[in-house]
Structure 1
Amino acid sequence: MAERAAGTPGSPSFLRLWQGFLTARVMVALALLVLLVLGNAVGQASQPGQPLLLACAAAYFLAAVLLRIFGAGAPPPPQPGLHWLPSIGVDVLLIGVLQALQPSGAMNFTPLFGLPLLLASVLGTLTLALGTAAGATLMLLAWAMWPGAGDGATQYLQAALTGTGYFLVAYLAHQLAARLTSEQRVAHLSQVDARTQRAVSALVMQHVDDGVLVLDSAGTVRLANPAALLLLEQEAAAGVPFTLSVRGAWAPVLHLVRETFALQVPQTLDVNIAHEGQSPMALRVRCWPTHTRAAAREADDEPLCVMFLHDLREMQARLRTEKLAAMGRMSAAVAHEIRNPLAAISQAGQLLDEDLTDPGHRRLTALVRQNVERLVRITEDVLDIARVQQVSDRPPAAAVPLDTAVRQIWLDWQAHDPARRRATLALNAPRMSVVFDAEHLRRVLTNLLDNALRYMGPHDDSLCLSTRITPAGRAGLQVWSDGAPLDKSVERHLFEPFFSSESRSSGLGLYICRELCQRHGASIGYQRGTRRLARGEVPGNAFSVLFRSAGPADAAAPFDTMQP
């Protein structure tokens, strides 16, 4: 059997055991030398062979110290070989010499064979251990044959019994060391698996969209992912653990946790969480116990439960997305079929216009042509949004003077309701032109103004429309209003299609704005920030668009960030 008992020579456990045995050899050699010196001091110097015993003990101590100094960092391979001579070979040889030199009836050195025997059994193979036991037994038999050793039969019998004990000790010590090594290897693999599972679980929890909580029976949150902290309105920097309040908005959830522990079965609950100053948040809460109380007692573990928090608004939005996506595909098909009749109407109008001479009739054909062109643009936009991709086959947009276009769009938008549509206009990019389709710019800005109008306050400066030039030379516009802050769950999905905080909204407005901006190389974003007004520092919501500028500014880096 060539099984290794203490792992590979390069393993930390093998190295520690090797160094421990070397230290033990030094201590045994030192104790042996001290005992012989003390014996010599109390009157045994006249005994024959005493100086030679001291010399052997001193040599043994010197050999042990040298091996401890120079061989501690390079343990030998477990297999039998000459590399074990400086340790096991020296021990067996010198202990045998000491036993042979000691006078009859004096000190017995045979127990010292236990040190090399354990060294071979623990750090070597079974073959090395049994070979060491055989060497020690041969030494005992040789000493029994030594002249003057006493009664030969008694000495032979004692050597046989001691040798048998050495073989048994070598075998059992090796088996025990091998078993401990195997258990250590299994424990190490289990630790590696546990660390891997912990890392994978942490990674999954960090990136899963649903909130995940791990709670104990008292409602203390032991572990929470960022989505759960966001729903709980708990700052991630505060960390865990923290306890759900009995009287707060999360009291129904705490009651569900206690019910889960009491019944030891999974529980599900739909609950509305109402935070102060915010609209209620509908959640579906699912709670599972990690194991039963009996299993927890057997495993000596604390019973825990895992809770999943699903935002019902997001679930409903996904369902609406699937339904509206089907409607979008149908709309795209309808729009595709409308293009052919529109082309025929346009061509017929042009032919008719060539034969008409009456100014009134020509005005009618011009009106038909204008509306046909408008319908063509609308169908193309529907097809573009249905494909959810940028259009590459359209001619590049012309450069549009930003301040001039924004002012005209603002005047047209305000003219529909001058009494209500009041705002502060600040145009700070008078010489900047941007690469953007004029009609698409109108749609983007009108959409942002409509959203701001819906949530702005009653003051004259509750809505601010401004343009600016960034330090990198890019032009941008911003629509700011003093509305209430957005829920974190809404902000995360602000520009996704079909997601809206209002049940009657299709959730396409900001998505279309983002698509149109990306189509022209622009970017759009949301920030919550303050603005200095005549009435002081006022917090509000800002939607900023950063354009791809025409002319020299067009060479600006594409990764410039929007400034609030």
Structure 2
Amino acid sequence: MAAPRPAPAPNVPPQRRELYFFTLYRVLEAALLALVAFSPMGEYLLQISEPTLLRSVVVLYMVMAIALLVASYRSQLSPAQQAAIGLGTDLVVAALVLAATSGSQGGIALLLLFNVGAGALILPQRAGLGFASAAALVVLADSLYVRAMDPFNARPIAESVMFSVTYLATAVLCELLSRQMRESQALAERRGEELANQAEINELVIRRMRTGILVVDGNHQVKICNEAAWALLGKPSPERKQLADVAPELHKALARWRGGRGEIPKAMTLAEGAPEVLPRFVALGLSDNLYLIFLEDSRVFSGRAEELTLATLGRLSASIAHEIRNPLAAINYSVQLLEESENLPEADRRLLEIIHTQCQRMNGIVQDILGLARRERSQPETLDLAQFVRRFVDEYRASHPLERDILQAVAERPTLAMADPRHLHQVVTILVTNALTYGRLPDEPARVTVAVRSGPPGAPPELNVIDRGPGIPAAVAEQIFTPFYTTSEHGTGLGLYIARQLCEANQCSLTYQPVPGGGSCFRIVLPPGMNLVQNQEAGSPGGRLNLA
């Protein structure tokens, strides 16, 4: 829906433009000489001594001038080459006109002054000075020839010398001006390229922004629409330019804002199936009559509010948990002392067991909260998942009596992955503990499998914790990774949340997958690891490096 860009103006080099005006001036010179040569008034303007020569030279000069004018914008020759040809023609014609007339030295010399200056603007410095010196020689030679043939009607030599000095000075000044013009043009081109690149970068940034951006004119016609705004508007056709047609509610809100009512735009849905947006309006200028519309996805605000709430809650919970640990430790220690009493009735002993169990539960909650608030940065390394899983299962069996429950590892071949071993151990411990606690059918032992799955080369490895319990209902499965969400009266609702946070810190993903036939599967997808293997069969001492 963005307005099409105007076609860029043709890039005409400055020397080509100067050459065009130079050749146009040459046509004017040829026309003036033709007026002198062919008009009856020519005898009153100049003393023509050789009319046939003059007319022949003027005709050829007119033809040459027109040809150079056409070539100035069609020829493949460079501007400097065409200027050199034209200026050489001017000098030859000037010399022949001076030879065919008498008393025309001043006028011809003045006409040559512009030619010398224009040539110096286009030609290199040495060429410009060379043609200026040639023009000076033409004028001086004519003056000396006239003085030799008719000394009584000859013009002063000083006049010719002054013309010569003027040619040289004009060539130098015009060459300096040309150099400055070229430098300014080069600087302008560089600045233009930088501005063009910056404009492309700005346009790309605007198009890729998650915030929807619209630019409309005073008639509420859409001029610019980035990708996010296009999606929020329901992906309308590019032909639909009127805001009233694309988003009527947004059109009315902008009209009310322009009316100066001071109303704060409310959240609105601009298309079916699109999320709610919060519009904001900004006037780009009184003269341009353009308005900028920001379309903020309300889900972004909700996510930011949730992150802020969780961060605040985490800091507050960590502070409270730290203060709870001391009295909790005192209560637990007192319970242990009371349990050592010999005259304690059985009913009181049962109450002490309840107190001790609940103290352990509260201590677990405190540990989870402190672990969440003080989570260390991950330090991933390459590890063999098969070896890690087998060692984990052995250690878990040794430290947790399973009785009738079954915990087994399935890892057929070495599988390399990148992860922090401490974080991965914590995640798998949470998943296995949950599976042993909740992944069991009534009156049956839990059967938990920690399996490693490796796909084709280059595919990310997977670590699955599978149980054969009743599974998780779909409505509950959508909330299980939410902090403090639990369906058990003994749970804290932080275990799976902490596990997912640790996975994300290691660039892993943790998802829940229902198992056909009953059961649950928590799948961890890890980045593939890198294995540097020395190929001893190769002839080189260093061998070959393989990536696994």
**Normalising by the residue count of structure 1, what TM-score does the alignment of the two structures yield?**
0.51
Corresponding residue for residue 287 of structure 1? 281
Q: 1:346 to 1:153 in 2, by over 3 A?
A: farther
For residues 246 and 443 of structure 1, the distance between their equivalents in structure 2, rounded to whole angstroms, comes to 58
Alignment-mate amino acid for residue 119 of structure 2: L
For residues 191 and 294 of structure 2, the distance between their equivalents in structure 1, rounded to whole angstroms, comes to 28
For residues 267 and 374 of structure 2, the distance between their equivalents in structure 1, rounded to whole angstroms, comes to 37
Alpha-carbon contact 1:214-1:304 (below 8 Å) kept: yes
Alignment-mate amino acid for residue 121 of structure 1: L
Corresponding residue for residue 326 of structure 1? 312
Alpha-carbon contact 2:15-2:122 (below 8 Å) kept: no
Decide which of 379, 399, 417 is 2:392's aligned counterpart: 399
Identity %: 23
Structure 1 residue 144, shift from structure 2 partner: 1.7
Alpha-carbon contact 1:214-1:306 (below 8 Å) kept: yes
SS at match of 1:136: helix
For residues 235 and 209 of structure 2, the distance between their equivalents in structure 1, rounded to whole angstroms, comes to 17
Structure 1 residue 381, shift from structure 2 partner: 1.2
Alignment-mate amino acid for residue 431 of structure 1: V
C-alpha root-mean-square deviation of aligned residues, in Å? Answer: 6.6
For residues 284 and 465 of structure 2, the distance between their equivalents in structure 1, rounded to whole angstroms, comes to 53
Decide which of 361, 384, 406 is 2:371's aligned counterpart: 384
**Normalising by the residue count of structure 2, what TM-score does the alignment of the two structures yield?**
0.52
- Pairing 1:169-248 to 2, within 5 Å after superposition: 181=182, 184=185, 187-188=188-189, 191-202=192-203, 204-206=205-207, 208-234=209-235, 242-243=240-241, 246=244
Alignment-mate amino acid for residue 386 of structure 1: A
Alignment-mate amino acid for residue 441 of structure 1: L
For residues 87 and 317 of structure 1, the distance between their equivalents in structure 2, rounded to whole angstroms, comes to 74
Corresponding residue for residue 463 of structure 2? 475
Corresponding residue for residue 249 of structure 2? 252
Alpha-carbon contact 1:390-1:518 (below 8 Å) kept: no
Residues 96-141 of structure 1, C-alpha deviations (whole Å, 9 max, x = no match): 876787798999997677655422134457x996896575245313
Number of equivalenced pairs: 413
- Pairing 1:49-448 to 2, within 5 Å after superposition: 115-123=115-123, 133=132, 136-147=135-146, 153=153, 163=163, 181=182, 184=185, 187-188=188-189, 191-202=192-203, 204-206=205-207, 208-234=209-235, 242-243=240-241, 246=244, 250-258=247-255, 269-273=265-269, 275-276=271-272, 281-292=275-286, 295-296=287-288, 303-315=289-301, 317-319=303-305, 321-322=307-308, 324-356=310-342, 360=346, 364-387=351-374, 389=376, 399=392, 431=410, 435=425, 437=427, 440-441=430-431
For residues 178 and 260 of structure 2, the distance between their equivalents in structure 1, rounded to whole angstroms, comes to 43
Residues 186-207 of structure 1, C-alpha deviations (whole Å, 9 max, x = no match): 7435524532441442354256
Unaligned runs of 5+ in 1: 1-11, 32-46, 58-71, 77-85, 297-302, 405-428, 450-465, 487-493, 499-506, 535-541, 558-564
Structure 1 residue 251, shift from structure 2 partner: 1.3
For residues 210 and 508 of structure 1, the distance between their equivalents in structure 2, rounded to whole angstroms, comes to 33
For residues 255 and 159 of structure 1, the distance between their equivalents in structure 2, rounded to whole angstroms, comes to 81
Alignment-mate amino acid for residue 345 of structure 1: I
For residues 275 and 338 of structure 1, the distance between their equivalents in structure 2, rounded to whole angstroms, comes to 51
For residues 195 and 324 of structure 2, the distance between their equivalents in structure 1, rounded to whole angstroms, comes to 61
Alpha-carbon contact 1:287-1:305 (below 8 Å) kept: yes
For residues 259 and 154 of structure 2, the distance between their equivalents in structure 1, rounded to whole angstroms, comes to 75
Structure 1 residue 224, shift from structure 2 partner: 3.3
For residues 141 and 483 of structure 2, the distance between their equivalents in structure 1, rounded to whole angstroms, comes to 94
Unaligned runs of 5+ in 2: 1-11, 31-50, 62-76, 380-387, 398-407, 413-423, 440-449, 485-492, 533-548
Alignment-mate amino acid for residue 241 of structure 2: T
SS at match of 1:271: coil
Alignment-mate amino acid for residue 323 of structure 2: E
Structure 1 residue 522, shift from structure 2 partner: 4.5
Structure 1 residue 146, shift from structure 2 partner: 0.6
SS at match of 1:399: helix
Residues 389-420 of structure 1, C-alpha deviations (whole Å, 9 max, x = no match): 4689xxx997359xx9xxxxxxxxxxxxxxxx
